[in-house]
Structure formats: structure tokens, C-alpha cells
Amino acid sequence: MIDALVQFLSGQSFAMMMLGCGTLVVVVEAVRASRRALWGDLFTEDFEE
């Protein structure tokens, strides 16, 4: 069991999984931080001409 865990942690799949998780966290936080900048113009009712 420990040998399988050590092989997984030292393999390429673990590194790719961690890279994917890090990318997901960065994308989610960027969307949360810039929600007003990204979606603010779509949902405002200010149609001043």
C-alpha cells in the first residue's frame, strides 16, 4: 500500500494533477475577483444614451 502511494506521489500523474488543481484555483479566484468587471455590463439596467 505504501509502495503504491510512493510510486503515485513520485510519478508524473501526481504532478499533472497538482498543476491542474493549481490552475483551477487561479481561474476560479480570478473570476470571483473580477466578476463585476466581467459581468457588470451585462446585468445593469443603466441604458443611458
Q: Which domain holds residue 29?
A: 2-39
Q: Is residue 48 part of a domain?
A: no
Q: How confident is the model at residue 11 (pLDDT cuts 50, 70, 90)?
A: confident
| 31 belongs to a structural domain | yes
Q: What is the dihedral of CA 23, 27, 30, 31, to 10 degrees?
A: -170
47 lies in some domain: no
How confident is the prediction for the chain on average, in pLDDT? 80
Tally of domains in the chain: 1
Spatial contact of 14 and 8, defined as CB atoms under 8 Å apart: yes
Percent of the chain clearing pLDDT 90 (strictly above): 24
